[in-house]
Structure 1
Amino acid sequence: MILSAKAISKTFSGNRALSQVDFDLNADEVHVLFGENGAGKSTLINILLGVLQPDDPGLTIDGVAITKLDPTRANDLGIAVVLQEFSLVPTMSVIDNLFLGRELKGTGFIDRRKMRQVATTRLSELGFRIDLNRRVSELSRAERQMVEIAKAIIRKPRILVLDEPTASLTDSEADHVLDIVQKLRASGVGIVYVSHRLREIQSLADRVSVLRNGVLVGTVTRAEGITEGRLVAMMTGRQIGSLFPVIDHAPGKPCLEIESICAGDGSFADVSLNVSAGEVVGIAGLVGCGKGSVGRAVFGLHATAKGRIRLNQQDIRPRSPRQMLRAGVCYFPSDRNAEGLAGIRSIAENCAIASLDLAKFGWIRQEHEQTVVRDAMKRLAVKPMDPSAAVASLSGGNRQKVMLARGLLRKTDVFIFDEPTVGIDVGAKIEVYQFIADLVARGAAVLLISSELSEVLALSRRIYVMHEGSIVRELQGENMTQENILEGFFGHRLQNDEREVA
């Protein structure tokens, strides 16, 4: 055993975040921490990293009791971390980020040649293809995640903490990361793994420890059976039959029609699709294929060079989010922290920000605003139920719900979800999926852009598959299979006579 934490408790301003939690880690083991957002996982991780101090000492590393651990000592002991929120410097290059604070030196000067050799070798071993000279600000979210992983692994740690390392990756990219984790385990590295992807947990975990409300509910070993039903029941305290609700699609009038639109920057070309009232239509594809840009273009965030967009059978040229909000379109971006929310502002302000143009005579009706915000929060089970709480203080799942609550504050015909469940726990995912089902039941049109194959398959009535900026497949009925989607990821088109017709 290389790490042991006994009876760990942590209290913040009188509120106990962890209560008498036991956790340990062996070399060549993947020990998964599982639980809802706010269950105490991040608090425990920060204690293991020396960022937070427990109420009472209880850490042992290599059999030696640690009375006080700080990040510097944790680093010296061989503990590395990949956190869900990026710690990269956007204005610096990839190579400078990889060695930031631990630059290699020769004869008193930074040895950039040696750094480049080491970085190239390690990235090659990981199978990551990233230009070392590019600025981090120029990278996609998936590429930034790869840099974060490489930054931790380049130190050859003994203990590696991975917090949602595949949250921004497609299934194929995630599979590659899982291969790396398995190789690290085989080499003797002890890995603390946090994930809400049950497929990953079942594939990797030697043990799973489940936290709920700061308390260790129990630990399940691979031999005992790491099943979806068992873990979700332990996490939530209730039995859940399935992650996905049954959606009764009842397509009505066309709400969104896109004909041969092309992006001004070339990120997509000749894209045509349609979404009717009362249905979910999915767009699937690898990161960088252009699927996210299509959603942004409809909302006036991404310039188009040509093509036609019709909303409720009327031509419209998206110029700004304000225009599209007024027209009845609501868009939820994939990066809720950078684009979707103002962390320092309250829940109420974040919920109502897209409805300010509904103010009466230019004045915000605060009493009315509080009422509608509370109703939306109740419908989405936002915790805490305090409209004045700062969004930055919320867990990832509750931040996502705050962003979704905006869609309930005004009349909306078309909802565009871009990666709606990135980095949120299973319980929150279930609530988001039910939210989508409720929207469809009341007659809304939903465009679901997702890299999660199980998600897009389970929720969609029809699926468009994109490859390198173009739609290569439209799948429906029996043709909606994982195999057909994956073939489309690599550019294979269906013949006309192979397409399933409704």
Structure 2
Amino acid sequence: MAAAATLVNESQGAQSPEMAPPLLAVSGISKRFGAVRALDTMDFDLRRGEVHVVFGENGAGKSTLINVIAGAIPPDQGSLAIDGKELRFRDVQDARAHGVAAMFQEFSLAPHLSVEENIFLGAEPNSYGFVRIAERRTRVAEALSRFGFAIDPQAMVARLSRAEQQMVEMTKALLTDPRVLILDEPTASLSQKETESMFGLVRQLCAQGVGIIYITHRMKEIEAIGDRVTIMRDGRFVKTVDVATTTQKSLVELMTGRSFEKFYPEIAHTPGEVVLEVKNLTTLTGCVSNASFAVRAGEIVGLSGLVGCGKSEMIRSIFGLEPVRSGTVEVRGKSVPVRTPARLLEMGVAYISSDRRNEGLMLLRPTRENLTLSSLGQTELSWSGWLKTASERTFAKRLGERLRVRPLELDKPVVKYSGGNQQKIMIAKAMGRETDIFLFDEPTVGIDVSARVEVYGFIKELVEAGAAVIIVSSDLPEVLNLSHRLLVVRNGEIVDQIEKSDISEGRVLHGFFGTIDETSSH
């Protein structure tokens, strides 16, 4: 494919390694969307063979920056250079032709096409307009094998798990042999084993001189894979630091502009009566098998396990979202034989989904409608089937302010908010009713550190006011630090129940993999 970018400046002569320009240099990039300045004279550089993390709150400008670098959107001003040559990309294909590829958090896959068709979509090997199917099939099989992705090339993408779809997206990006690779939250849906495989692949690419721009909110990932971190705030460059010499506390303070004395709050544990009890629960699909546990008022019970272990299905089945073969659920001592979300809501149980976009929110509807959705039947909001519109606005405003949605605009579509604000709106919606049992499924997925701290604060308020909380999380430090009791799930079964004083990373990991923890007496 012929290079189509406009070459602005040619480098003059060869340079010594010491004087060589960075692989990628971004200088003074600015971008506006209407009245909103998403990037404000942003600077960034990437060296060959490094993992450079871009770190910032939702709304800091990270997505806009990587979209500019990937050729998806043009900057209003500023310059971008590769190997010292200033370039302007017309589009994503143009950027790929110059060695810049991206794997975005929101996938660009065609769900009703096969893995093979998706990987070469728009770039199929062809002769005179006819796709060379045999060649495409061979190249896809070789690529999946080389990158260590165990996926059937003929499988329809819609039927793959999100982790498998992520692997397809990664393969698409890598097949262009990029010199600059952008990874946007690449491990958000991966298990620990899959994450380690991803890190291994990243290290191989770096050893070959590929520069990687890595977006993540996870501190442990920054420490595990990052070389440098550039912090952004309000669309601007704050500072670039070396991972090896920077603490988590410093990163959070640089990102937010304020101090956090403690990342995870101390949550008082004053357990009351049992308000939710699950007995021998088995789902129709078998992803949950013979699960039994109880939750008391005033405590947090965590569910932890590898991706696909059945932990999410466990709380979804409690809420009537997964069909059950056998077992019982009791709420405040009363059996609930026929469980539907509407019935559980009436009984004071709320489920906060891990999937904001498809289950948790009506993205194209106004904020006020999302905030009041689960409360419409209450007398404060309706009369004889008619909505009290003035009361709805007051009710929604109160909930939005309680959860500190900023800036709160009741008529604004939810899709226009950052991930952190969307998560707050989803939690606020659950708090609009008389609710004292909360089922959180991945409560901080895809949100930044500052929003995480706020979500943890809300959970603390709920529990210390007497609510019972279950937290399902794939973020191990999160579930270790927040839980008063921790249930370890493996292959759909609860294999360990750990009290707060005995919770340790080692014991939990042994539970994940079914190995023996010789330091534990359990």
TM-score norm. by structure 2 comes to 0.91
* 1:481 aligned residue: 504
Aligned equivalents of 1:240, 1:357: Cα separation in 2: 40
1:22 aligns with 2:43: yes
**1:103–1:110: 8 Å Cα contact kept in structure 2?**
yes
Q: How does 1:97-116 map to 2 (within 5 A)?
A: 97-105=118-126, 109-116=130-137
Q: 2:480 aligns with which of 448, 457, 475?
A: 457
1:146 aligns with 2:170: no
2:207 to 183, 186, 194: 186
Moved more, 282-291 or 167-176: 167-176
**Cα offset for 1:336?**
0.8
Q: Say if 1:264 and 1:304, in contact at 8 Å, map to a contact too.
A: yes
How far is 1:339 from its partner? 1.1
- Note if 1:238 corresponds to 2:246: no
Q: Does 1:350 align with 2:398?
A: no
Would the aligned equivalents of 2:348 and 2:436 in 1 still touch at CA under 8 Å?
Answer: yes
- Equivalents in 2 of 1:171, 1:36: separation in Å? 24
Cα distance, 1:262 vs structure 2: 1.0
Task: Choose the corresponding residue for 1:58, options 79, 83, 97.
Answer: 79
1:316 paired residue among 336, 348, 352: 336
Greater alpha carbon shift after TM alignment, 354-363 vs 233-242: 354-363
Aligned to 2:138: 117
Contact 1:57 1:67 in 2 (8 A): no
Hey, what's the Cα distance between the residues in 2 that align with 1:483 and 1:381? 36
1:300 to 320, 323, 328: 320
CA-CA distance at 1:106 after TM superposition: 6.2
Equivalent residues of 1:249, 1:279 under 8 A apart: yes
* Structure 1 residue 313 displacement after superposition: 0.8
Structure 1 CA distance, aligned partners of 2:262 and 2:190? 23
Q: Which runs of 5+ in 2 are unaligned?
A: 1-21
Q: What secondary structure sits across from 2:144 in the alignment?
A: helix
Partner of 2:470: 447
Cα deviation 1:386-424 (Å, max 9, x = unaligned): 111111111111111111111221111210111111111
CA distance in 1, matches of 2:190, 2:35: 38
Contact (CA 8 Å) 2:52, 2:214: kept in 1 or not?
yes
- Equivalence for 2:16: none
**Counterpart contact for 2:232–2:238, Cα < 8 Å:** yes
Contact 1:171 1:452 in 2 (8 A): no
- Residues in 1 aligned to 2:492 and 2:231: alpha-carbon distance in whole angstroms: 41
Is the 2:222–2:243 contact (alpha carbons within 8 Å) kept by the matching residues of 1? no
CA distance in 2, matches of 1:168, 1:220: 27
Which piece of structure 1 moves more, 39-48 or 137-146?
137-146
Q: Is contact 1:473–1:493 with CA below 8 Å preserved after alignment?
A: no
Q: Percent identity?
A: 44
Secondary structure of the residue aligned to 1:179 is helix
Equivalent pair of 2:53/2:226 in contact (CA under 8 Å): yes
Distance in 1 (CA, whole Å) between partners of 2:517 and 2:323 is: 29
Q: Aligned partners of 2:167 and 2:157: how far apart in 1?
A: 11
Is 1:419 aligned to 2:439, yes or no?
no
Residue 17 (structure 1) shift: 1.5
Of the two, which has the highest radius of gyration? 2
1:400 aligns with 2:423: yes
Q: Where does residue 293 of structure 2 map in the other structure? A: 273
Q: Partner residue of 1:371?
A: 394
Match of 2:414 in 1: 391
Structure 1 residues 68 and 97 mapped into 2: Cα distance closer, same or farther (>3 Å)?
Answer: closer
- Classify the secondary structure of the residue corresponding to 1:302: coil
Q: SS where residue 417 of structure 1 aligns? A: strand
CA distance in 2, matches of 1:389, 1:131: 42
Quote the Cα distance in structure 2 between the aligned partners of 1:128 and 1:184. Answer: 16
Secondary structure class of the residue paired with 2:386: coil
Unaligned runs of 5+ residues in structure 1 are: none
Between the aligned partners of 1:250 and 1:362, the Cα distance in structure 2 is 41
Distance in 1 of aligned mates of 2:59 and 2:178: 28
Decide which of 77, 97, 114 is 2:98's aligned counterpart.
77
User: Residues 151-183 of structure 1, C-alpha deviation per residue, up to 9 Å, x if partnerless?
Assistant: 212322111011111112233332222222121
Question: How many angstroms apart in 2 are the aligned matches of 1:301 and 1:85?
Answer: 25
Q: Is the contact between residue 506 and residue 517 of structure 2 (CA under 8 Å) also seen in structure 1?
A: no
- Deviations 1:270-323 (CA, angstroms, capped at 9, x unpaired): 111111110010111111111111111111111101111101110002432111
Residue of structure 1 equivalent to 2:10? none
For residues 41-78 of structure 1, the C-alpha deviation after alignment (integer angstroms, 9 at most, x for no partner) is 11111111122211124112232222454222111111
Greater alpha carbon shift after TM alignment, 169-178 vs 288-297: 169-178
Structure-2 change in CA distance of 1:261 and 1:67 (3 Å):
closer
Task: Give the partner amino acid of 1:489.
Answer: F
2:89–2:95 Cα contact (<8 Å) kept: no
SS in 2 for 1:448: strand
Residue of structure 2 equivalent to 1:437: 460
* SS of equivalent residue, structure 2 residue 387: coil
Match of 1:49 among 41, 46, 70: 70
Q: Deviations over 1:211-265 (max 9, x none)?
A: 1111111111246x22111111111001112221101111111111000111112
Q: 1:110 to 1:13 in 2, by over 3 A?
A: same
The alignment partner of 2:149 has SS state of coil
Equivalenced residue count is: 497
Task: Judge conservation of contact 1:46–1:52 (CA < 8 Å) in 2.
Answer: yes
Contact 2:30 2:78 in 1 (8 A): no
For the pair 1:218 / 2:239, whether they are aligned, the reply is yes
Amino acid at match of 1:458: N
**What TM-score comes out, normalization by structure 1 length?**
0.95
For 1:87, which of 102, 108, 111 is the aligned residue? 108
1:41 corresponds to which letter in structure 2? K
Work out the CA distance in 1 between the residues paired with 2:222 and 2:412: 33
Q: Which moved more, 1:418-427 or 1:68-77?
A: 68-77
Whether contact under 8 Å (2:280, 2:326) holds in the other structure is yes
Q: CA RMSD in A?
A: 1.9
Q: Give the Cα separation in 2 of the matches to 1:64 and 1:213.
A: 28
Determine helix, strand or coil for the equivalent of 1:81: strand
